[in-house]
Amino acid sequence: MDESKESAYSQGLEDALNGGLRVLASGGKSIDAVEIAVRILEDNPLFNAGRGSVYNAQIGHEMDAAIMCGIDRSAGGLER
């Protein structure tokens, strides 16, 4: 990996962390901060997540997602 690509990956991670931090700094819940951070990674084509996911062996996309609230252990998920 060259320096420019490493820098782009680092910036993507920093963007995700800062997105979550903004939620927390404004008094938001931790579960909302996690959701925002993951959305930022999903929107970044450098990361193998969400819209940026790669093809499987059958040349199709398999995606799933889950999130859980630690306070009451409620959870939600999906598979596509």
Q: What are the pLDDT digits (tens) for 60-74?
A: 777 778 898 888 999
Percent of the chain with pLDDT over 70: 94
Contact, 3 vs 9, CB < 8 A? no
Contact, 50 vs 44, CB < 8 A? no
Contact, 23 vs 36, CB < 8 A? yes
Coil, strand or helix: which one is 58? coil
> What digits encode the pLDDT tens for the residues 22-35?
999 999 999 999 99
Answer yes or no: pTM beyond 0.85.
no
CA angle 71-35-10, nearest 5°?
125
CA atoms within 13 A on the CB side of 72: 3
